[in-house]
Chain A
Amino acid sequence: MRWAFLARRLGFYLAAAAAAIGLNFLLPRLMPGDPSSAIVEELERVSGQQVPAETLMSIRAIFGNPHANLAQQFADYLRQLSHGDLGVSVVNFPVPVADLVWQALPWTLLLVGTTTITAFAIGTLLGVVAGWKAGSRLDAILTPFTTFLSSVPYFWVALLALWIFGFVLGWTPLSGGYDADLPQGFSLAYAVSVLHHGVLPAATIVFSAFGGWLLGMRNMTVTTVREDYVLLAQAKGLSPRRVMFRYAARNAMLPSFTGFAMALGGVVGGALLTEIVFSYPGIGYLLYESLQKRDYPMMQGVFLLITLAVLLANLVADLAYVLLDPRIRARG
């Protein structure tokens, strides 16, 4: 029963991944223009003369021939992909896209991953406490305050924080993810510089994200507290903490958990605004750069990575949900 469920989910996600890979190939080719022609045009514009035939050949060898048969192109694309080859970046020529992505990925995972988890943990915990005693002083202060927080645009919070703490007070660096003067590696000084650069972007993300979790969890807790099983748990004379967490919060967090899993999938896409404001060397910043400079192979690579990460996160969420809610198992 459980294995059949697992196999079914796995099959669904494999199909979805295949579709994503196919779309990732097709979509850029449906758009007008292609990287080869763009480069050729650029070269011709700069040099003022026609590109020699050999140059055209080598450009097409690297960035693909737009006139080649579509099936042939797709076969090439799949072959490259199977080697982990995402093509060559136009802007950072001739660095492979895969290298750039692997370079940016740890930064994004570190910054956005930890902050997503932290924001979820803080928001959920405070939400339970606020919802448990709805109408208490804590709830009366916390809930309107976080409603206000969630409605403030993130980029504004980030810019304000950067201006105050980075520029006016000078407590944190203005941009980047590490001190460029230090050799990269596992040294204490380098780790400290990473933390020093990361703390402000991280704080702004947690600051703007925890409110949403709090409100969701608070409202679910308010409804769950009225459930009979919570009443019965109280009648059993269990400690208030046990009633609150094992009975109320454990059930109230089920919907929140779905949102959390989705958020984890989004982590790989990076926090676009954060990384732009703080010039943080993550995936979001990479995407931003490639969009600005029309670096098609890079965009394609980043999109594929994001899609696969979201699918993976959904799969993990599905499986974890089965562990969290026994009723799902029965329904399969």
Chain B
Amino acid sequence: MSVLTVEGLTVDYVSGERPVRACDDVTFELRQGEILGVAGESGSGKSTLITALTRLQRPPAVTTAGRIEFRGTDLVSLNADELRKLRWTSLAIVLQSAMDALNPVMRVGAQFVDVLRSHDKTLGNKDAWAKAADLLGMVGISADRVRSYPHELSGGMRQRASIALALACGPELVVMDEPTTAVDVVMQRQILAQVLRLRRELGFAVVFVTHDLSLLLELADRIAIMYGGRIVEIGTAESLYTKPRHPYTRGLRDSFPPLRSPLRKLTGIPGSPPDLRNPPPGCPFHPRCADRFDGCDEQRPELLTIEDHADHTVACRLYPSGDDQL
């Protein structure tokens, strides 16, 4: 049963002479309780994807095509009031920097209480504060912190508080924008463990966006790789790690050291991400690709399912009609 079906989502930034296409024909599906990781470099369109998915984008970003179907409702077609009813009760978000995401002049608890009460009119003030304390307790923050201001919490506490906040109204889908980037690795591990535990207990699905592929390999059920505004490969974390198909995915995987397998030579990806104002023709990766051949700079590859791997799709001409050549 899928929670979210994204089809042909296209987002343009319409300032300047020519629109810049930051998300190009993005299509994926998210199942109930699943964690989908989205990995990509800066400028790959992953942040644009987040604001488009949550319908939080602001001009000049405009969704020019596609559907975002959440439990059978197309979010793109909803008006502001209809969206507002869905927000937080069904669709929540955790932003990258919890320091900036919490209102500095409101007590942490009050930022839970206002969302709890605005979605449940029958909830009394006292009960809402108690629930806020419970939610903080869920991520290991003691109940008396409910009356603290954001600046009185440590970075890790703030980030965990933002996760607790996202779960306040029991959403089915939580979109997380690099929620562990601003904390140290110890806290990062704690937070990831908490996300996994809470997902198990509460059963929400997650879209987890990050530039850190190694982190996704541990956390995500499936991983989508974005490049130049497109998804170039989607597969289970397992198959993506053991058998990445797209040359870009392989490059990403080989740019960090494995922890448990024998050491291998680390290789980066030469070149830099494409300029979206002036994207290369054909496959966006071809100028950096070691495996390119005739026609890569003309034909744009489509996402195709790899034979015998129903869960693994790749957009690369090395795999015509999805044949697994490697």
Contacts and interface: CB of A to CB of B under 8 A. Distances in A.
B63 interface: no
B85 interface: yes
Interface range for A: 20 to 34
Interface string A201-240: 0000000000000000000000000011101111111111
Given A228-B97, A326-B104, A237 B115 contact: yes
Given A232-B93, A326-B149, A238 B101 contact: no
A22 to B, nearest CB: 39
B256 to A, nearest CB: 28
A246 B118 contact: no
Given A242-B114, A327-B149, A237 B89 contact: yes
B105 A324 contact: yes
Contacts of B315: none
Contacts of B152: 326, 330
A228 B100 contact: yes
A235 B87 contact: yes
B237 to A, nearest CB: 27
B93 A233 contact: no
Given A234-B56, A235-B56, A237-B119, A229 B151 contact: no
For the residues of B in contact with A, the DSSP-based class is mixed
A326 B93 contact: no
A251 B104 contact: yes
B151 A236 contact: no
Interface in B82-134: 83-89, 92-93, 95-97, 100-106, 114-115, 118-119
Given A231-B95, A236-B115, A327 B151 contact: yes
Contact of B118 (A227, A239, A330): A239
Contact of B88 (A235, A247, A251): A235
A326 B111 CA distance: 15
A327 B104 contact: yes
A325 interface: yes
B27 interface: no
B54 interface: yes
Nearest to A239: B118
A9 interface: no
Nearest to A331: B151
A237 B105 contact: no
Contacts of B149: 326-327
A327 B150 CA distance: 9
A225 to B, nearest CB: 9
25 contacts: A228-B95, A228-B96, A228-B97, A228-B100, A232-B95, A235-B56, A235-B92, A235-B93, A236-B87, A236-B88, A236-B114, A236-B118, A237-B87, A237-B89, A238-B84, A238-B114, A238-B115, A238-B118, A250-B105, A251-B104, A251-B105, A254-B105, A325-B104, A326-B149, A326-B151
Given A228-B101, A250-B106, 20 more contacts: A229-B102, A229-B104, A231-B56, A232-B93, A235-B88, A235-B92, A237-B83, A237-B89, A237-B118, A237-B119, A238-B84, A238-B115, A238-B118, A250-B105, A251-B103, A325-B104, A325-B105, A326-B104, A326-B152, A330-B152
**Nearest 8 CB-CB pairs, A to B?**
A237-B87, A228-B100, A326-B149, A236-B115, A237-B84, A228-B101, A229-B103, A235-B93
